[in-house]
Structure 1
Amino acid sequence: MARHKPATKGGYQRGESTRAAILMAAVEVFGRRGYEGASTRDIAKAAEVNAPAIQYYFDSKEGVYLQCVEHLITLLWQKMGAAVEAAEMAASDRTSDDQRLIEAALGILAAVLVTQEDTHHRKAWRAFFDRQQAGPCPPSATVAFEQKFKGRIDSVMRQLIARLSGFALEDERTILHAMALFTQGLAFRAHKPRLATALGQENVSRSQMRLANDIALTQARFTLHGLAQRNPSLTR
Structure 2
Amino acid sequence: MARHKPAAEGGYQRGEETRARIIEAAVAVFGERGYEGASTRDIAAAAGVNAPAIQYYFDGKEGVYLQCVEQLIEFLWLRMGEPVEAAEKALLEPNVDDGQLIEATLDILGAVISLIEDKAVVWREFLDCHQEGFRLQSAATLFETKFKVRVGGVIRVLIARLAGLEVQDERAIIHSMALFTQGLAFRAQRSKLLTALKWSAINEKEMQLVRDVVLTQARFTLEGLARSK
What is the TM-score with the length of structure 2 in the denominator?
0.91
**Quick one: distance in 1 between partners of 2:48 and 2:93?**
52
Query: Which range is displaced more, 170-179 or 88-97?
Result: 88-97
Cα distance, 1:85 vs. partner? 0.7
| SS of equivalent to 1:54 | helix
Cα deviation per residue 1:147-194 (whole Å; 9 max; x = unaligned)?
A: 111110000000000000012111111111111112122333332333
Instruction: Provide closer, same or farther for how the CA distance between residues 65 and 48 of structure 1 changes in structure 2, counting only shifts above 3 A.
Output: same
Look up the match of 1:234: none
Amino acid at match of 1:4: K
Amino acid at match of 1:109: L
2:182 to 184, 190, 194: 184
Instruction: Provide closer, same or farther for how the CA distance between residues 136 and 167 of structure 1 changes in structure 2, counting only shifts above 3 A.
Output: same
Cα deviation per residue 1:199-233 (whole Å; 9 max; x = unaligned)?
A: 3x2535532332111110111111110000011xx
Aligned length: 224
Look up the match of 1:165: 163
Instruction: Provide closer, same or farther for how the CA distance between residues 110 and 63 of structure 1 changes in structure 2, counting only shifts above 3 A.
Output: same
Look up the match of 1:2: 3
Amino acid at match of 1:111: A
**Quick one: distance in 2 between partners of 1:192 and 1:140?**
28
Look up the match of 2:200: 203
Instruction: Provide closer, same or farther for how the CA distance between residues 46 and 205 of structure 1 changes in structure 2, counting only shifts above 3 A.
Output: closer
Look up the match of 1:154: 152
Look up the match of 2:22: 22
What is the TM-score with the length of structure 1 in the denominator?
0.89
| SS of equivalent to 1:186 | helix
Q: Percent identity?
A: 59
Amino acid at match of 1:143: T
Are 1:117 and 2:111 an aligned pair?
no
| SS of equivalent to 1:169 | coil
Instruction: Provide closer, same or farther for how the CA distance between residues 139 and 89 of structure 1 changes in structure 2, counting only shifts above 3 A.
Output: same
Q: Structure 1: give runs of 5+ residues left out of the alignment.
A: 232-236
Residues 192 and 204 in structure 1, CA contact (< 8 A), matched pair in contact too:
no
**Quick one: distance in 2 between partners of 1:127 and 1:39?**
17
* 1:1-236 correspondence to structure 2 within 5 Å: 1-5=2-6, 13-119=13-119, 122-199=120-197, 201=198, 203=200, 205-206=202-203, 207-231=205-229
**Quick one: distance in 2 between partners of 1:136 and 1:115?**
20
Cα deviation per residue 1:54-94 (whole Å; 9 max; x = unaligned)?
A: 01110111000000001111111122111111101112333
| SS of equivalent to 2:49 | coil
Residues 113 and 207 in structure 2, CA contact (< 8 A), matched pair in contact too:
no
Amino acid at match of 1:63: G
Query: Which range is displaced more, 173-182 or 23-32?
Result: 173-182
| SS of equivalent to 1:105 | helix
Q: Structure 2: give runs of 5+ residues left out of the alignment.
A: none
Instruction: Provide closer, same or farther for how the CA distance between residues 62 and 152 of structure 1 changes in structure 2, counting only shifts above 3 A.
Output: same
Residues 195 and 204 in structure 1, CA contact (< 8 A), matched pair in contact too:
no
Amino acid at match of 1:113: I
Query: Which range is displaced more, 182-191 or 104-113?
Result: 182-191
Residues 27 and 123 in structure 2, CA contact (< 8 A), matched pair in contact too:
yes
Instruction: Provide closer, same or farther for how the CA distance between residues 169 and 205 of structure 1 changes in structure 2, counting only shifts above 3 A.
Output: closer
